[in-house]
Amino acid sequence: MAMEGYRGFLALLVSALLVGFLSVIFTLVWVLHYREGLGWDGTSLEFNWHPVLVVTGFVFIQGIAIIVYRLPWTWKCSKLLMKCIHAGLNAVAAILAIISLVAVFDFHNALNIPNMYSLHSWVGLTAVIFYMLQVSASAYL
């Protein structure tokens, strides 16, 4: 019975990792092929960093950070090592989120487009702020 549960867990884990990885790949293909690529020059190419970094950071890397404690092969590792891996993955996700916001604000400012004009903007900024508060607070726990 325990082995069936372990196999089921591994199947779900591999499936989740595959979906996350494919999300990153499909986002890159979409941006590079259908949205003309990436750049950091104030054009839409700079804005294109936003979906790539958010999907990579908040979907894929954050997803791994969430489950890192639940992986059976990590149970024998020291708690300090697991905390460092978890914190490192969260830090990478946070950095990517900040860079994605910088890209959006820089793009908007370069073309004189108002910032924070949609519900997506407000919900996204709120999510990033709360995420940063969580990451900051967890550094003291």
State percent of the chain over pLDDT 70.
98
In this structure, of 31-35, 111-115, 131-135, 136-140, the range with the lowest mean pLDDT score is: 136-140
| pLDDT tens-place string over residues 56-85 | 999 999 999 999 988 888 888 888 899 899
Higher pLDDT, 6 or 127: 127
Could you give all domains of the chain from N- to C-terminal order, each with its CATH number?
2-138 (1.20.120.1770)
| pLDDT (0 to 100) of residue 79 | 86
| pLDDT (0 to 100) of residue 6 | 83
Does the pLDDT at position 117 exceed 70?
A: yes
d(CA 131, CA 91): 10
| pLDDT tens-place string over residues 1-59 | 466 788 888 899 999 999 999 999 999 999 999 999 999 998 999 999 999 999 999 99
